[in-house]
Structures are given as structure tokens and as C-alpha cells.
């Protein structure tokens, strides 16, 4: 390559991880990582109790800030990942049951339409989220 030659490397979706090229000189030359991406199974639990109707960041209520943070987190997901969303106050409500991630637009609108109210009971929501991810492939996160 120093004398003007080139390098062509061909491989399939999982070729470089299987070849143990991670951390090698070849990986440094390539515009990809040899380590495969881990599939994620994410369940978000968003507090929608009455306190989330109070002012938070300048110009925003706490609920709006939580929705914006959730939408920002979703930018890390790909089509092979699973997403579930629970909004909770006194009891959990599935905004979206765990399913393959298909983008933020529909979910963003559904979350923005939610109205905060009621007391805060997080434990039932966390239990519901954990149970909903049982058996879902991928690295699970709540």
C-alpha cells in the first residue's frame, strides 16, 4: 500500500468477528469494527405521576423533558433491537409492548399525548418491564 497499491477486504456480516480481527492491524485499516454489535432489548419506564406536570427545565414541564430524553435514547437503537415503553403513576401502562424497534415517530407522538397525574408507584412498573423482557433475545436493559 505504501507504493500506491490498494487493499480490498471482502466479508459477510459476521466474517470479521469470527476471524478474530478485533484489535488487529487489519481492523485499524478498515472502516468498520470487527466486534459484532450486540442486539439490545430495552424497556423504558417513564414516570407519569402528578409531579411530572410541574416545571422542570426552563420552559418545559418535567414530563416533556422525560419524553425528550426517552426519544434521544432511542436514537441508539437499530431495527434488530427490541423496545418496550411503560408510563406509570399509580399503575403501569404499556405505551408500547416489547417489539422490534421501528423508529421514534409513532412513539414520540404517543408519549407527548400522555397527561401526568396520580401518585408515584415505580415498583409495579419495573416488575412489568422486567417480566415483559423475559425470553426476549439480546442484552436486556431497563
| DSSP letters spanning 64-85 | HHHHHHHHHHHTT--TTSEEEE
Q: Quick check: 95 and 109 in contact, CB under 8 A?
A: no
The string of pLDDT tens digits covering residues 34-52 is 777 789 999 999 999 999 9
**Within the chain, which residues score under 50 in pLDDT?**
none
Q: Quick check: 92 and 128 in contact, CB under 8 A?
A: yes
Q: What is the pLDDT of residue 141?
A: 93
Mean predicted lDDT score pLDDT of the chain: 87
Query: What pairing do the DSSP bridges indicate for beta strands 40-47 and 139-141?
Result: parallel
Amino acid at each position: 500500500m505504501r507504493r500506491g497499491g490498494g487493499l480490498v477486504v471482502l466479508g459477510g456480516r459476521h466474517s470479521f468477528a469470527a476471524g478474530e480481527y478485533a484489535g488487529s492491524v487489519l481492523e485499524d485499516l478498515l472502516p468498520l469494527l470487527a466486534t459484532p454489535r450486540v442486539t439490545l432489548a430495552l424497556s423504558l419506564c417513564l414516570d407519569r405521576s402528578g409531579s411530572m406536570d410541574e416545571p422542570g427545565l426552563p420552559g418545559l414541564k418535567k414530563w416533556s423533558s422525560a419524553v425528550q430524553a426517552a426519544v434521544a435514547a432511542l436514537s441508539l437503537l437499530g431495527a434488530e433491537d427490541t423496545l418496550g415503553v411503560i408510563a406509570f403513576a399509580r399503575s403501569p401502562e404499556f405505551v408500547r409492548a416489547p417489539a422490534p424497534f421501528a423508529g421514534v415517530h409513532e412513539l414520540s407522538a404517543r408519549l407527548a399525548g400522555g397527561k401526568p397525574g396520580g401518585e408515584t408507584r415505580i415498583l409495579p412498573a419495573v416488575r412489568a418491564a422486567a417480566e415483559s423482557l423475559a425470553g426476549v433475545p439480546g442484552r436486556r436493559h431497563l
